[in-house]
Every structure is written in structure tokens, then in C-alpha cells.
Amino acid sequence: MPYFQSIGCTPLIAMNPAEFLLDLANGNTTDVSIPSELDDKVHMENHNSENNNSKNDCRPSAQDVHEYLIDAYETRMAYKEKKMLLAPLPISDDLKTTITSSKREWGTSWWQQYSILFCRVFTAIFTFPQERAMLNKERAVDMYKLSAYFLARTTSDLPLDLFLPVIFMVIVYFMAGLKATATHFFLSMLTVFLSIIAAQGLGLVIGASLLDIKKATTLASVTVMTFMLAGGFFVKRVPPFISWLRYLSFNYHTYRLLLKIQYDPVPDILTTTAHMDNGATEVAALVAMIIGYRVLAYLSLRRMKTSS
């Protein structure tokens, strides 16, 4: 009320402040004093108008009132309000100690952070580039630990990533006439699961390293194609200078495992190398990729926070 009084708007009769404010909001100035600036404006407009016959023409319209209130606020109060809002708040000594303390006290437990972040989901390569701005913003104010965010992002895609291959395998496995036993089917399924999780890890580390969707997509395409070529899928005799890359390829180890499951012994014509063991080497390689790629992705995100 003091503010409206300062700009020349006061009730002419005893009026509830709420009713007074509603009258102003609706442009009703019947029981409200009119500021001199607004009164002069109305008279000037009426003087220039051809239709100045009725008594109501002497009162300002709702649009006139609104324009006056906006102009009054912008010229008299807006700067003060902004200055007050932007002024730094005094910080107590206890709060300063908490902020500068090397040990962060989290408002929620690690498990609560993980659970909430788990519910937010994308494809592995696009995960970190798409969330870069959000991650920088939320991590800047220590909303959650990086480990909780990373584990939530890397596990939230797994249910869907594993569900779709199950449907694919149920259809294709028996359609292709592969060994129709429970043991061979579930071993094949486990192999495909390991391959998917390893491939997801590769996508995560590429996305976390580059944090740019276009660059990450290009590098992922080149990397996967190189792995497939080096593994001998399209070239029978891979040149020695590039053949060593097969051991870094999840495609290569997955293919050898599937061969071992379906054929015993494996025909030489189907193998990229003459020797085929019981599959322990391939399983160990895929597990190492699953863990190793994710560790690299986490370290890349940690490096991003440090550099920023």
C-alpha cells in the first residue's frame, strides 16, 4: 500500500487492500485517486479524440492504468529490486566453515542419489554429450557425487538393452536351426549379453571422452568398423600391421565364443585362427572390456570436472 500511495494510487474510501489491488489490476479507478501523470495523459488523449461526449471518457481506461503501473514500476522500483536481489547475502561463520571444508556433507545418501538418477534414461554414445551442460551445472553445486551419477547412467540402460536381444535371440536362434538345447541357448544368450554390455562400455568411453555428439558418432562408427575388419569378418587375410586390433574387438571374442558353443570341435574353415580353447580367454577378454571401458569413461568424466 505504501508503494501504490507513492505513485499516486490510493483508495478514496475505506477499502480492503485486496479489493484495492484487484481494482487496479482490472483497471477500475472509480474509487481510486488518479495520479496527475495519468490524469494529464487521459485529458490529452481526450482532447485529441473526436468522441469526447460521455462522462466516462474522463476516466482512464484499463489499458491506461496498466501502462501507468508498468511504467511506474520500471522507473521507480525495478532497479532497486534488481539491486536488492543481486546483493550478496551475509554468510555466517558456521556456513563459511561448511563451504570451505574439504569434507562434503551430502543432503542425501549415495543410494538415494543413485536411485533418483537411475530414473532419468539414452543410447550409450549419446549419454554424456547430451547431458554435458546439465552435468556441469549440477556438479558445480555438488548436487550429487560423480560416482552415483555415473553408475546410474551406466546401469539405467541395461534393462532395455538386455530385453530387446532376448526377443531377437528367441526368434533368430531357432529360425537359424542352431542347437536346440537349453544349455546351448542360454550360453549363446549369455555371450550376447556380454557383447552388448562390452559394446555399451565402448560407447560410454567414446561419449565421455569427446562430449560431442557428432564427433562421438563418427569415432564410434570408425572404431566398430575397424574392429570388424581386423577381426576377419570381411577380409580373410588381415595384414599383420592391423591384425593385432582383433584382440581389442568385442566382436572378435563374441564370434569365437558363439562358434565354440555351436560347434565342437570348431571347423578350421570357420576360425580366424587355428587354435580354439574352451572359451575362458574370450570370456575374460569381454569381462575386462566391460570393466575397463567403464573405468576409462569414469576417469574421462572426472578429468572433465577437474579441467572445468
Sign of the torsion formed by the C-alpha atoms of 283, 285, 286 and 290: positive
Does residue 12 contact residue 33 with C-beta atoms inside 8 Å?
yes
Residue type, 24: L
Question: Which among 178, 133, 126 has a CA at the least distance from the CA of 153?
Answer: 126
Residues 165 and 302 in one domain: yes
In a domain, 209, yes or no: yes
Q: Judge whether 268 and 274 are in contact, CB under 8 Å.
A: yes
**Is the domain of 82 the same as that of 167?**
no
User: 10 Å Cβ neighbour count for 128?
Assistant: 29
pTM for the full model?
0.58
Q: What is the pLDDT of residues 99-155, one digit of tens each?
A: 666 566 677 788 888 777 766 574 566 677 777 778 878 877 778 888 888 888 888
Q: Look up the domain containing 39 and give its range.
A: 2-86
Q: For residues 176 and 75, state if they share a domain.
A: no
Among the candidates 54, 70, 86, a domain finishes at 86
Q: Same domain, yes or no, for 170 and 286? A: yes
Q: Do residue 77 and residue 197 come from a single domain?
A: no
Under a CB-based contact definition with an 8 Å cutoff, are residues 172 and 231 in contact? no
Q: Is there a domain that residue 165 lies in?
A: yes
pLDDT digit string, tens, across residues 5-42? 888 888 888 888 888 888 888 888 778 887 777 777 77
From 86, 109, 128, give the residue that closes a domain: 86
Instruction: Specify whether the CB–CB gap between 150 and 297 falls below 8 A.
Output: yes
Q: Of 86, 114, 130, which one is at a domain's C-terminal end?
A: 86
Residue 254, Cβ density class (10 Å: 0-12 exposed, 13-18 middle, ≥19 buried): buried
Residue 140 lies in a domain: no
- Tally the domains of the chain: 2
